Amino acid sequence: MTATLRRRALLRQGVTLTGATLLPWGAAPAMAQTAVTRLPVLRAPRLKPGDTIGLFSPSGATYERAPFEQAAEVLAALGFQAREAPNARARRGQHAGSAEQRAADLNGLIADPSVHGLLAVTGGSGANRMLPLIDYAAIQRQPKVIAGFSDVTALLNAVTARTGLVTFHAPVAVSEWNAFSVAEFRAVLIDAEARTLRNAEDRGDHLIVKAHRIQTLRPGTARGPLVGGNLAVLTSMAGSAYLPSFDGAILFLEEINEYIYRVDRMLSTLKLMGALDRLAGVVIGAFSNCGPGDGNYGTLTLDEVFDDWFGALGVPVYRGAMIGHIRKKFTVPVGLPVEMDAGAGTIRLLTPAVR
């Protein structure tokens, strides 16, 4: 046999001349990421009327004074006192100051015994820059409610991964605090209910419910701790020490203003890092303004993307949860064990998220 023919025969058998083994087409590789140790669940004290809530900016800068005035009014209307972190109004490019300034604000609010909870002013970008600068040991010693969403996904998941503390994917201070969002926030963080997160069914003037419809991709129930948040932010943390364990977890995802091919690529990252294969279930929230771009459906649809990545997992999956960049939203406890029902479209907290 000539050298060329021998080489071709070896390649057909999945062997390279350097000794590496090639996987046959379609074969699943070994999981790319080592399993992360999950810490015991740590719950912060519930929020009480009169408590002081620290307003901090872990991500984007806020360029006007009015949002801070409105944030203080929101907290007052909820029955709290507001305390603005020293660098909350800082700006460095699009960020709310340097990573050091933002981490100092977070660490200072955690260390201050007169502050009972932390609420992000807004999202934006850049929260992952401050993750190595956070005093996680102090958070474990003095656990407090930490809440926000969008880019704050990085902070929420990092704190949960490194401390075990349940954090909250919830409205930020500048969000629209409508009756639905307020009721969900109060139930979870003030009343300490072991609540079932269930979409509102408001038909309005329609014959059927059209907004916030549940679509069951694969029926069934599953239990596990919640992990997730904004898809782009979550995948930006791939390979880092700041992601919680995906083993037996319920993954929830939301996104805004991303082309479908980018959503597809981000989900492929979760697949390639081994995260999707470890899940107990998936809850898909709002993917707001996530279209094909340029009005061109030469791309996959979101339906097809979700079917491709979640359809073969063999776990319960549903879509349409009121999570994300939408007016009415749940307060979702990251790290808390829950039971999801993909047929009913619900997430049931197995214990209160605060104590």
Known active-site residue 150: yes
Q: Give the three-class secondary structure for 294.
A: coil
Q: Which residues contact 208 (CB under 8 A, 6 or more apart)?
A: none
Instruction: Please enumerate in sequence order all residues whose Cβ is within 8 A of that of 33, keeping only pairs 6 or more positions apart, or say none.
Output: 239, 273, 274, 275
Going by C-alpha positions, the residue among 286, 301, 290 that lies closest to residue 252 is: 286
Tell me the H-state helices in 244-301.
260-272
Catalytic one of 150, 175, 181, 245: 150
Q: Per the structure block, which two tokens stand in for 319?
A: 């879509």
What count of residues does the chain have? 355
Q: Is 254 a catalytic residue?
A: yes
CA 227 to chain CA centroid, Å, is 6
- Which residues does 27 contact at the CB level (< 8 Å), separation at least 6? none
User: What distance in Å separates the CA atoms of residue 10 and residue 24, rounded to the nearest whole number?
Assistant: 13
| DSSP secondary structure, 31-50, as one string | PSSPPPPPPPPB-PPPP-TT
| 184, 254, 255, 258: the active-site residue | 254
Task: Look up 64 and say whether it is catalytic.
Answer: no
Spot the catalytic one: 116, 169, 212, 325: 325
Residues carrying an active site annotation: 150, 254, 325
